[in-house]
C-alpha cells in the first residue's frame, strides 16, 4: 500500500492539512460563531491516533504536513505530536512540517517548534489596529500576537502573514500591512473570504473584497511583476519591484486554482475532506479504530482520494453566494 496517492484527475496528493482541535482562543468573524458549540473531547482523535493517521498518509507519499485548528497550539500536549512527526523529517519521508496559527501561543512554543524541525509558519493577521483586531477576532489581543511573532523570529522561524481581505474593514490597511511586513522581513499573502459557516450572522457578500481590486491598487504604487513561482499551494505570487517583496494572492472566487490541487484536509475527528469547497467527506476514524493494523485505514484513504472532485463551486456572482459550505472554516482547519 505504498503506491502514491493519485486522484481521478492525475493529481498527486502529497500535502495533508491536519486539524488537531476545533477549539480556539479567538472567535474570528469569518471562521467561527461567537458562541461556538465545540466537540466533546471524546470525539477527537487522540494524539496517538493522529500520529498513526498522519503516518499512514506519509507512507503513501504525503511529503508536506501542515498542522491547523482551531488554534493548534491550544491543544493540550500538542508538542508531543510535533515531536512524533519530527521522526518523519529525520527519515526524509516528510520534506516539511509546518503549522498555521493565530500567533497567540508562539511566545510559549516557538523554540519547541524549531526543535521539532519546524522552519516556517503561517500567522493569520488581518489588521495592525488594536481596536479593529479586537473586533474581527472578538476575543483577540493584538499585543500578545505581535509578541508571539517576535518570539518566533527570535527562535529563527520564517513567518508568512496571511491576511483575509475584508471589504470595509482592512481595505485602508493594505499598504500599512505591506510596509510592516517589509520592515519585519515577513512574506504576505492575501486571501479572499470564503462562503463558509453561518451567513445569517456574517454576510460574506458584504465582506467580499476582490483581490483583483487589491492587486490593481498595488500597481498604482509599485511596479508589479507576476512570478511563475509555486509553493505547492493555491497562492499566486507577484514581486513589488521597488521593495523586492513577494506578495501572494489566494483567490478561490476570482480565480479557481483547483487544477493543481495537491491537498486534502483531515479534521480532528478523522473526517477527510477531499475539497475545501465541497461537502463530501470520508470517515477515517472508524477504520482507524476498527483494527490495530492499517489495512482498513489505508484502503479507506485510497477510496476517498478516488472521490476527490475536480474543483470547488464557490461563486459570489449575481449578488448571491453559490457553493456555500454549511460548516465553519474552523471545522476543517481555519
Interatomic CA distance for residues 225 and 245, integer angstroms: 10
289 is in an annotated binding site: no
From its phi and psi, is residue 190 left (phi > 0), alpha (psi between -120 and 50) or beta?
beta
Interatomic CA distance for residues 206 and 209, integer angstroms: 8
237 is in an annotated binding site: no
100 is in an annotated binding site: yes
91 is in an annotated binding site: no
140 is in an annotated binding site: no
53 is in an annotated binding site: no
Interatomic CA distance for residues 33 and 46, integer angstroms: 25
54 is in an annotated binding site: no
317 is in an annotated binding site: no
What is the number of residues in the chain? 334
246 is in an annotated binding site: no
124 is in an annotated binding site: yes
261 is in an annotated binding site: yes
Interatomic CA distance for residues 188 and 237, integer angstroms: 10
Interatomic CA distance for residues 75 and 68, integer angstroms: 11
264 is in an annotated binding site: yes
258 is in an annotated binding site: yes
136 is in an annotated binding site: no
Backbone φ, ψ for residue 215 (5° rounding): -65, -40
116 is in an annotated binding site: no
Binding-site positions for S-adenosyl-L-methionine read 30, 70, 124, 194
Binding residues: 17, 24, 28, 30-31, 66, 70, 100, 124, 160, 194, 258, 261, 263-265, 275
The binding site for [4Fe-4S] cluster consists of 24, 28, 31, 258, 261, 275
Q: Which residues are annotated as a binding site for GTP?
A: 17, 66, 100, 160, 263-265
Amino acid at each position: 500500500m505504498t503506491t502514491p496517492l493519485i486522484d481521478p484527475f492525475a493529481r498527486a496528493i502529497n500535502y495533508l492539512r491536519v486539524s488537531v482541535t476545533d477549539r480556539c482562543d479567538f472567535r474570528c468573524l469569518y471562521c467561527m460563531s461567537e458562541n461556538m458549540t465545540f466537540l466533546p473531547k471524546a470525539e477527537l482523535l487522540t494524539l496517538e491516533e493522529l500520529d498513526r493517521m498522519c503516518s499512514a498518509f506519509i507512507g503513501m507519499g504525503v511529503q508536506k504536513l501542515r498542522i491547523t485548528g482551531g488554534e493548534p497550539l491550544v491543544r493540550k500536549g500538542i508538542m508531543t505530536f510535533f515531536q512524533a512527526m519530527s521522526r518523519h523529517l529525520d527519515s526524509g519521508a516528510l520534506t516539511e512540517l509546518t503549522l498555521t496559527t493565530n500567533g497567540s501561543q508562539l511566545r510559549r512554543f516557538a523554540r519547541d517548534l524549531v526543535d521539532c524541525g519546524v522552519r516556517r509558519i503561517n500567522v493569520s493577521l488581518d489588521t495592525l489596529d488594536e481596536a479593529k483586531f479586537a473586533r474581527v477576532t472578538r476575543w483577540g489581543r493584538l499585543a500578545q500576537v505581535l509578541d508571539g511573532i517576535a518570539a518566533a523570529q527570535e527562535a529563527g522561524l520564517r513567518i508568512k502573514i496571511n491576511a483575509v481581505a475584508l471589504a470595509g474593514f482592512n481595505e485602508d490597511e493594505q499598504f500599512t500591512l505591506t510596509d510592516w511586513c517589509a520592515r519585519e522581513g515577513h512574506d504576505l499573502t492575501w486571501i479572499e473570504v470564503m462562503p463558509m459557516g453561518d451567513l445569517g450572522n456574517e454576510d460574506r457578500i458584504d465582506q467580499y473584497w476582490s483581490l483583483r481590486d487589491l492587486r490593481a491598487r498595488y500597481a498604482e504604487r509599485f511596479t508589479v511583476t507576476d512570478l511563475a513561482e509555486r509553493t505547492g499551494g493555491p497562492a499566486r505570487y507577484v514581486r513589488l519591484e521597488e521593495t523586492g517583496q513577494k506578495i501572494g494572492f489566494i483567490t478561490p472566487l476570482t480565480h479557481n486554482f483547483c487544477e493543481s490541487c495537491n491537498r486534502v484536509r483531515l479534521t480532528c475527528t478523522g473526517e477527510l475532506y477531499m475539497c475545501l469547497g465541497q461537502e463530501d467527506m470520508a470517515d477515517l476514524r472508524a477504520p482507524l479504530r476498527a483494527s490495530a493494523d492499517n489495512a482498513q485505514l489505508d484502503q479507506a484513504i485510497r477510496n476517498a482520494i478516488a472521490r476527490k472532485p475536480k474543483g470547488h463551486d464557490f461563486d459570489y456572482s449575481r449578488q448571491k453566494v453559490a457553493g456555500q459550505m454549511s460548516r465553519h472554516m474552523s471545522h476543517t482547519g481555519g
